[in-house]
Protein backbone atom coordinates (compact mmCIF):
# COMPACT_ATOMS: atom_id res chain seq x y z
CA UNK A 1 0.00 0.00 0.00
CA UNK A 2 1.62 3.29 -1.08
CA UNK A 3 1.82 6.16 1.38
CA UNK A 4 3.29 9.62 1.07
CA UNK A 5 5.29 12.00 3.20
CA UNK A 6 6.97 15.21 2.20
CA UNK A 7 10.43 13.87 1.44
CA UNK A 8 10.15 10.08 1.76
CA UNK A 9 7.62 7.95 -0.07
CA UNK A 10 6.61 4.62 1.46
CA UNK A 11 5.24 1.60 -0.34
CA UNK A 12 4.51 -1.76 1.27
CA UNK A 13 3.95 -4.84 -0.87
CA UNK A 14 4.59 -8.54 -0.36
CA UNK A 15 5.95 -7.83 3.11
CA UNK A 16 8.70 -5.61 1.68
CA UNK A 17 8.55 -1.96 2.78
CA UNK A 18 10.10 0.38 0.22
CA UNK A 19 11.32 3.79 1.38
CA UNK A 20 12.28 6.26 -1.34
CA UNK A 21 13.97 9.61 -0.82
CA UNK A 22 11.88 11.94 -2.96
CA UNK A 23 13.68 15.29 -3.23
CA UNK A 24 15.38 14.79 -6.60
CA UNK A 25 15.11 18.51 -7.35
CA UNK A 26 17.39 19.09 -4.32
CA UNK A 27 19.63 16.07 -5.04
CA UNK A 28 17.85 14.32 -2.15
CA UNK A 29 19.74 16.54 0.28
CA UNK A 30 18.75 15.95 3.89
CA UNK A 31 16.89 18.61 5.81
CA UNK A 32 15.00 18.35 9.10
CA UNK A 33 11.82 17.18 7.37
CA UNK A 34 13.70 14.35 5.66
CA UNK A 35 15.12 13.16 8.98
CA UNK A 36 11.64 13.25 10.52
CA UNK A 37 10.18 11.42 7.53
CA UNK A 38 12.82 8.67 7.73
CA UNK A 39 12.20 8.28 11.45
CA UNK A 40 8.43 8.28 10.94
CA UNK A 41 8.69 5.68 8.19
CA UNK A 42 10.78 3.45 10.46
CA UNK A 43 8.22 3.75 13.25
CA UNK A 44 5.47 2.80 10.81
CA UNK A 45 7.13 -0.40 9.54
CA UNK A 46 4.62 -3.12 10.42
CA UNK A 47 5.66 -6.03 12.59
CA UNK A 48 4.92 -8.52 9.83
CA UNK A 49 7.22 -6.77 7.33
CA UNK A 50 10.12 -9.00 6.31
CA UNK A 51 12.54 -6.50 4.71
CA UNK A 52 12.96 -2.74 4.28
CA UNK A 53 14.36 -1.47 0.96
CA UNK A 54 15.72 2.10 0.83
CA UNK A 55 16.49 3.99 -2.37
CA UNK A 56 16.04 7.43 -3.92
CA UNK A 57 14.49 9.16 -6.89
CA UNK A 58 16.66 10.74 -9.57
CA UNK A 59 20.31 10.24 -10.41
CA UNK A 60 21.81 11.01 -6.96
CA UNK A 61 21.12 8.99 -3.83
CA UNK A 62 21.82 11.98 -1.57
CA UNK A 63 24.15 14.97 -1.71
CA UNK A 64 24.26 15.20 2.10
CA UNK A 65 22.98 17.80 4.53
CA UNK A 66 20.88 20.62 3.12
CA UNK A 67 22.86 23.32 4.90
CA UNK A 68 20.98 26.09 3.12
CA UNK A 69 17.80 24.94 4.85
CA UNK A 70 19.38 23.91 8.14
CA UNK A 71 21.73 26.75 9.05
CA UNK A 72 19.33 29.66 8.94
CA UNK A 73 20.92 32.52 10.88
CA UNK A 74 23.53 30.40 12.66
CA UNK A 75 26.92 29.30 11.38
CA UNK A 76 27.20 26.49 13.95
CA UNK A 77 26.26 23.17 12.29
CA UNK A 78 25.74 21.35 15.59
CA UNK A 79 23.51 24.12 16.89
CA UNK A 80 21.63 24.07 13.58
CA UNK A 81 20.93 20.33 13.76
CA UNK A 82 19.89 20.52 17.40
CA UNK A 83 17.65 23.55 16.77
CA UNK A 84 15.72 21.42 14.29
CA UNK A 85 15.43 18.53 16.75
CA UNK A 86 17.84 16.31 14.82
CA UNK A 87 19.41 13.78 17.25
CA UNK A 88 23.10 12.78 17.33
CA UNK A 89 22.27 9.53 15.49
CA UNK A 90 19.58 10.70 13.07
CA UNK A 91 19.49 7.47 11.07
CA UNK A 92 19.87 5.04 13.95
CA UNK A 93 16.20 4.16 13.53
CA UNK A 94 17.16 2.15 10.43
CA UNK A 95 19.90 0.26 12.24
CA UNK A 96 17.48 -0.41 15.12
CA UNK A 97 14.81 -2.02 12.95
CA UNK A 98 14.55 -5.77 13.61
CA UNK A 99 14.08 -6.35 9.89
CA UNK A 100 17.10 -6.23 7.55
CA UNK A 101 17.44 -2.98 5.61
CA UNK A 102 18.72 -3.12 2.02
CA UNK A 103 19.97 0.15 0.53
CA UNK A 104 20.01 0.63 -3.25
CA UNK A 105 22.44 3.45 -4.06
CA UNK A 106 21.12 4.79 -7.36
CA UNK A 107 23.89 7.40 -7.55
CA UNK A 108 26.33 9.42 -5.48
CA UNK A 109 26.06 9.21 -1.68
CA UNK A 110 27.85 12.16 -0.12
CA UNK A 111 28.34 13.06 3.54
CA UNK A 112 25.12 12.52 5.46
CA UNK A 113 23.83 10.66 2.39
CA UNK A 114 26.49 8.02 2.85
CA UNK A 115 25.91 8.03 6.62
CA UNK A 116 22.26 7.26 5.90
CA UNK A 117 23.34 4.29 3.78
CA UNK A 118 25.76 3.16 6.51
CA UNK A 119 22.82 2.73 8.89
CA UNK A 120 21.46 0.03 6.57
CA UNK A 121 22.49 -3.62 6.62
CA UNK A 122 23.23 -4.31 2.95
CA UNK A 123 24.23 -1.77 0.30
CA UNK A 124 24.04 -2.28 -3.46
CA UNK A 125 25.44 0.42 -5.73
CA UNK A 126 24.83 1.49 -9.29
CA UNK A 127 28.10 1.31 -11.20
CA UNK A 128 28.22 5.09 -11.69
CA UNK A 129 27.92 5.89 -7.97
CA UNK A 130 30.61 7.64 -5.94
CA UNK A 131 30.66 7.53 -2.14
CA UNK A 132 32.33 10.05 0.15
CA UNK A 133 32.42 11.76 3.53
CA UNK A 134 33.87 15.18 2.63
CA UNK A 135 32.98 16.92 5.90
CA UNK A 136 36.60 17.75 6.81
CA UNK A 137 36.79 19.97 3.72
CA UNK A 138 34.25 22.18 5.52
CA UNK A 139 36.16 21.99 8.79
CA UNK A 140 33.64 19.53 10.21
CA UNK A 141 33.48 15.96 11.40
CA UNK A 142 30.88 13.63 9.94
CA UNK A 143 27.82 14.39 12.05
CA UNK A 144 25.61 11.32 11.61
CA UNK A 145 27.69 8.33 12.65
CA UNK A 146 30.26 8.23 9.86
CA UNK A 147 33.30 8.10 12.15
CA UNK A 148 31.81 5.08 13.93
CA UNK A 149 29.93 3.03 11.35
CA UNK A 150 32.39 3.42 8.48
CA UNK A 151 35.44 1.92 10.29
CA UNK A 152 33.29 -0.92 11.61
CA UNK A 153 32.44 -1.73 8.02
CA UNK A 154 35.64 -1.16 6.03
CA UNK A 155 38.30 -1.15 8.75
CA UNK A 156 40.11 1.66 10.51
CA UNK A 157 42.72 2.39 7.85
CA UNK A 158 40.40 2.78 4.88
CA UNK A 159 37.83 4.66 6.94
CA UNK A 160 40.48 7.13 8.06
CA UNK A 161 41.65 7.60 4.50
CA UNK A 162 38.12 8.37 3.33
CA UNK A 163 37.33 10.64 6.28
CA UNK A 164 40.64 12.52 6.44
CA UNK A 165 40.98 13.14 2.71
CA UNK A 166 37.29 13.52 1.99
CA UNK A 167 37.95 11.97 -1.40
CA UNK A 168 35.22 9.85 -3.02
CA UNK A 169 35.54 6.18 -3.84
CA UNK A 170 34.01 4.62 -6.93
CA UNK A 171 31.41 1.91 -6.75
CA UNK A 172 34.01 -0.68 -7.73
CA UNK A 173 36.37 0.49 -4.97
CA UNK A 174 33.48 0.46 -2.52
CA UNK A 175 32.86 -3.16 -3.48
CA UNK A 176 36.54 -4.04 -3.03
CA UNK A 177 36.68 -2.59 0.51
CA UNK A 178 33.34 -4.05 1.59
CA UNK A 179 31.42 -0.79 1.70
CA UNK A 180 28.87 -2.25 -0.73
CA UNK A 181 28.14 -5.91 -1.43
CA UNK A 182 27.31 -5.61 -5.12
CA UNK A 183 27.70 -3.22 -8.06
CA UNK A 184 25.23 -3.38 -10.93
CA UNK A 185 24.36 -1.31 -14.01
CA UNK A 186 22.10 1.62 -13.16
CA UNK A 187 19.22 0.26 -15.20
CA UNK A 188 19.32 -3.04 -13.28
CA UNK A 189 19.61 -1.60 -9.77
CA UNK A 190 15.89 -1.70 -8.96
CA UNK A 191 15.59 -5.27 -10.21
CA UNK A 192 18.70 -6.55 -8.43
CA UNK A 193 17.97 -4.84 -5.11
CA UNK A 194 14.36 -6.06 -5.19
CA UNK A 195 15.60 -9.59 -5.89
CA UNK A 196 17.88 -9.54 -2.84
CA UNK A 197 15.06 -8.16 -0.70
CA UNK A 198 12.74 -10.88 -1.99
CA UNK A 199 15.25 -13.64 -1.23
CA UNK A 200 15.55 -12.38 2.33
CA UNK A 201 11.77 -12.09 2.63
CA UNK A 202 11.41 -15.77 1.71
CA UNK A 203 13.68 -16.92 4.54
CA UNK A 204 12.51 -17.65 8.05
CA UNK A 205 11.63 -14.18 9.37
CA UNK A 206 12.48 -14.93 13.00
CA UNK A 207 15.80 -16.51 12.02
CA UNK A 208 16.59 -13.49 9.82
CA UNK A 209 15.84 -11.00 12.60
CA UNK A 210 17.82 -13.02 15.16
CA UNK A 211 20.73 -13.28 12.74
CA UNK A 212 20.76 -9.49 12.30
CA UNK A 213 20.65 -9.03 16.07
CA UNK A 214 23.42 -11.58 16.63
CA UNK A 215 25.75 -9.82 14.18
CA UNK A 216 24.90 -6.28 15.28
CA UNK A 217 25.11 -6.82 19.03
CA UNK A 218 27.78 -9.51 18.94
CA UNK A 219 30.20 -7.19 17.14
CA UNK A 220 30.25 -4.99 20.26
CA UNK A 221 30.93 -7.90 22.65
CA UNK A 222 34.03 -9.91 23.52
CA UNK A 223 34.05 -13.09 21.43
CA UNK A 224 33.23 -15.44 24.32
CA UNK A 225 30.22 -13.36 25.33
CA UNK A 226 29.10 -13.01 21.70
CA UNK A 227 29.19 -16.78 21.23
CA UNK A 228 26.99 -17.23 24.31
CA UNK A 229 24.60 -14.64 22.90
CA UNK A 230 24.44 -16.53 19.61
CA UNK A 231 23.64 -19.74 21.50
CA UNK A 232 20.94 -17.99 23.53
CA UNK A 233 19.24 -16.76 20.37
CA UNK A 234 19.49 -20.24 18.86
CA UNK A 235 17.79 -21.76 21.90
CA UNK A 236 14.98 -19.21 21.68
CA UNK A 237 14.57 -19.94 17.98
CA UNK A 238 14.27 -23.66 18.70
CA UNK A 239 10.99 -23.00 20.53
CA UNK A 240 9.26 -21.30 17.59
CA UNK A 241 6.70 -22.64 15.13
CA UNK A 242 8.84 -21.43 12.23
CA UNK A 243 11.76 -23.60 13.27
CA UNK A 244 9.48 -26.66 13.40
CA UNK A 245 8.01 -25.73 10.01
CA UNK A 246 11.50 -25.38 8.52
CA UNK A 247 12.51 -28.86 9.65
CA UNK A 248 9.17 -30.35 8.52
CA UNK A 249 9.43 -28.70 5.10
CA UNK A 250 12.98 -30.01 4.69
CA UNK A 251 11.90 -33.56 5.49
CA UNK A 252 8.90 -33.29 3.17
CA UNK A 253 11.06 -31.73 0.43
CA UNK A 254 8.88 -28.64 -0.03
CA UNK A 255 9.21 -24.91 0.48
CA UNK A 256 8.51 -23.85 4.08
CA UNK A 257 5.49 -21.71 4.91
CA UNK A 258 6.89 -19.40 7.57
CA UNK A 259 4.47 -17.42 9.73
CA UNK A 260 6.86 -15.42 11.87
CA UNK A 261 5.83 -17.26 15.01
CATH code at 90? 3.90.226.10
In a domain, 195, yes or no: yes
Among candidate residues 165, 185, 201, the one where a domain is terminated? 201
In a domain, 256, yes or no: no
Do 12 and 133 lie in one domain? The reply is yes
Do 228 and 121 lie in one domain? The reply is no
Do 185 and 134 lie in one domain? The reply is yes
**pLDDT tens series, the chain, 261 aa:** 445 458 999 999 889 999 999 999 999 999 999 999 999 999 999 989 999 999 999 999 999 999 888 887 777 888 888 888 888 899 999 999 999 999 999 999 999 999 999 999 999 999 999 999 999 988 889 989 999 999 999 999 999 999 999 999 999 999 999 999 999 999 999 999 999 999 999 888 888 999 999 999 988 899 999 999 899 988 888 887 777 767 767 676 767 767 766
In a domain, 170, yes or no: yes
Question: Buried b / exposed e across 54-93, counting CB within 10 Å, b at 16+?
Answer: bbbebebbbbbbbbebbbeeeeebeebbeeeebeeebbbb
In a domain, 107, yes or no: yes
Do 174 and 218 lie in one domain? The reply is no
Do 193 and 220 lie in one domain? The reply is no
In a domain, 237, yes or no: yes
Domain that holds residue 229: 205-251
Domain count, the chain: 2
Do 171 and 111 lie in one domain? The reply is yes
Do 64 and 21 lie in one domain? The reply is yes
Do 223 and 154 lie in one domain? The reply is no
Do 163 and 222 lie in one domain? The reply is no
Do 67 and 142 lie in one domain? The reply is yes
What's the pLDDT at 4?
Answer: 47
In a domain, 229, yes or no: yes
Q: How many residues in total does the chain contain?
A: 261
**Other C-beta atoms lying within 10 Å of the C-beta of residue 38:** 23
What's the pLDDT at 65?
Answer: 93
CATH code at 224? 1.10.12
pTM over 0.75: yes
What's the pLDDT at 2?
Answer: 46
Give dist(CA 25, CA 220) in Å, integer.
39
Residue among 206, 201, 200 nearest 235 (CA): 206
Do 236 and 113 lie in one domain? The reply is no
Among candidate residues 182, 201, 220, the one where a domain is terminated? 201
Residue among 170, 166, 158 nearest 140 (CA): 166
Do 175 and 240 lie in one domain? The reply is no
Cα end-to-end span (Å), the chain: 24
Amino acid sequence: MPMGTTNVSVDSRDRIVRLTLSRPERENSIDAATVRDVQGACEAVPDDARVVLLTAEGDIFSSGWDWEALLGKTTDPIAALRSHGIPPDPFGCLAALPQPVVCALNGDAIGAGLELALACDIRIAAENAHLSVPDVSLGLLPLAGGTQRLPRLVGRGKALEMILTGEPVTADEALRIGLVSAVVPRDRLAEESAAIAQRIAERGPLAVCYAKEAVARGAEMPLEQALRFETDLTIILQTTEDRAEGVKAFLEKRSPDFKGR
